[in-house]
Amino acid sequence: MRKWIAGAGLVYVLYGLFIYWYLFMTGDAAVPEAVRGTEADPASFMKPSQLAVAEQYSNIKNFLFFIGIPLDWFLFFILLITGISKKIKQWMATAVRFQFLQVAGFVFVLSLIVAAVTLPLDWIGYQVALDYNISTQTAASWAKDQIIDFWIGFPLFTVCVLVFYWLISKHEKRWWLYAWCLTVPFTLFLFFLQPVVIDPLYNDFYPLQNKELESKILALANEADIPADHVYEVNMSEKTNALNAYVTGIGANKRIVLWDTTLNKLNDSEILFIMGHEMGHYVMKHVYIGLAGYLLLSLAGLYVIDKIYRQVVRTFGARLHINGKGDIAALPLLLLLISVLTFASTPFSNAVSRYQENAADQYGMELTRDREAAVDTFQDLAVTGLTQVNPPLLVKVFRNSHPSIMERIEHAETNEKTEEDPTSKPDSDQ
């Protein structure tokens, strides 16, 4: 057991050293020669001091991300190899009579352990954001969000675990298929509830207060044939200086939401471009495409997890203190497999997301007919968020669900050149 723990610890440390070396010493975030002097060159809209700070902040943030994910894997492995997971199960069996309460108690203790181990890294991330003036959130507000996260996640997680172990006891060979069938309505239900139940637990949402701007946005929506009565704003300035807007929810609960930081720091033309971008997501049905893609990936993922789970339990069950596939003590193994496969699929899901974001950028520029506002918006996003304009490859692949700021500005420039191409055929009536 000591050898396994030492080996896993060594692998984790070597991985952390590699990530540090890659991000801080070799990660290529330099500006290509072809971009220098253009609007996509960060030197054209950021001071040298801002560039240096953005590089530092981005590297720290990316480092925390890359070492945080395998920390969960290491923790789950330790819980299994040391027999702690089995002991928690035994404690629950002696503490409560009913099996469903034993499972709920096991999930609660496991959730507390995971929260306690990952909390220091989360706290460091919060402090870094404060130090670089990205976060404006008080420690009390941050702690409140952590507590809300826990008490939203715990009951949902408990229900999922109860259903999983019930399915595997009743349908050992096809549990993964039945689990996926239940995932579809459950996911749709959460998507429907999120804008009106979950999101308001963290922030206050209300109709856009600037009625003149709202009229402009609704006129833009009408031009795009989008049924819209309200645009919502959220008081994110209490927590951050960053800018954002997004589309959330499905059906009657679909919302377009603007952060108040965006309203306070951007002019109307830039906000209208952002709205055009979000309307592009709506028109091209990206929310539904993303939801369908998630459900298809989850089907494939559950099938693969079933095969690996069976093999690991069969081969290493005794060493990991697992008595079979239906043993609640095997839950850390299941979580480990889910986390690893989710991380492995991230490059694909991010690539699809970047394609959709690029298409939404294009739609926003076409709808507003204001390419300059798009460029100004991208530049403001980089400055206010201390964003690397051209992040290293691993960051792009595993972290970026949007094209880089440099790519978005270059796309806008390409769009302008295409529109102004003198070789394009004129209309017959000109």
Q: What is the pLDDT of residue 194?
A: 84
Q: pLDDT band at 183, cuts 50/70/90?
A: confident
Q: Tell me which residue of 415, 258, 253, 278 sits closest to 360, measured CA to CA.
A: 278
Q: pLDDT band at 87, cuts 50/70/90?
A: very high
Q: What is the pLDDT of residue 425?
A: 45
Q: What is the pLDDT of residue 422?
A: 46
Measured distance CA(328)–CA(376) in Å, rounded: 53
For 108-148, the pLDDT digits (tens) are: 999 999 999 999 999 999 999 999 999 999 999 999 999 99
For 293-338, the pLDDT digits (tens) are: 988 999 999 999 999 999 999 999 999 999 988 899 999 999 999 9
**Do residues 137 and 123 lie in contact, with contact meaning Cβ atoms separated by under 8 Å?**
no
Would residue 124 count as lying in a domain? yes
Would residue 317 count as lying in a domain? yes
Q: What is the pLDDT of residue 35?
A: 86
Would residue 261 count as lying in a domain? no
Would residue 251 count as lying in a domain? no
Q: Please identify which of the residues 233, 278, 407, 410 carries the catalytic annotation.
A: 278
Would residue 280 count as lying in a domain? no
- pLDDT, mean of residues 79-107: 93
Q: Is the pLDDT score of 274 beyond 70?
A: yes
Would residue 161 count as lying in a domain? yes
Measured distance CA(42)–CA(375) in Å, rounded: 12
Entry field: residues in the chain: 430
If residue 299 lies in a helix (H) or strand (E), which one and from where to where?
helix 286-316
Would residue 170 count as lying in a domain? yes
Q: Is the pLDDT score of 341 beyond 90?
A: yes
Q: What is the pLDDT of residue 333?
A: 96
Q: What is the pLDDT of residue 417?
A: 59
- The boundaries of the domain holding residue 166 are 2-203+285-417
- pLDDT, mean of residues 178-207: 88
- The pTM assigned to this predicted structure is 0.89
Task: Please count the structural domains in the chain.
Answer: 1
DSSP track, 217-277: HHHHHHHTT---S--EEE-GGGTBS---EEEE--GGG-EEEEEHHHHHHS-HHHHHHHHHH
Instruction: Provide the 10 A C-beta neighbour count for residue 358.
Output: 15
Q: pLDDT band at 416, cuts 50/70/90?
A: low
Q: What is the pLDDT of residue 28?
A: 65
Q: pLDDT band at 186, cuts 50/70/90?
A: confident
Catalytic residue list contains 55: no
Would residue 132 count as lying in a domain? yes
The lowest-confidence range among 61-65, 104-108, 389-393 is: 389-393
Q: Is the pLDDT score of 427 beyond 50?
A: no
**Mean pLDDT score of the chain, rounded to an integer?**
89
Measured distance CA(70)–CA(3) in Å, rounded: 19
Question: Sheet containing 255-259: which strands, arranged edge to edge?
Answer: 205-207, 232-234, 255-259, 245-248
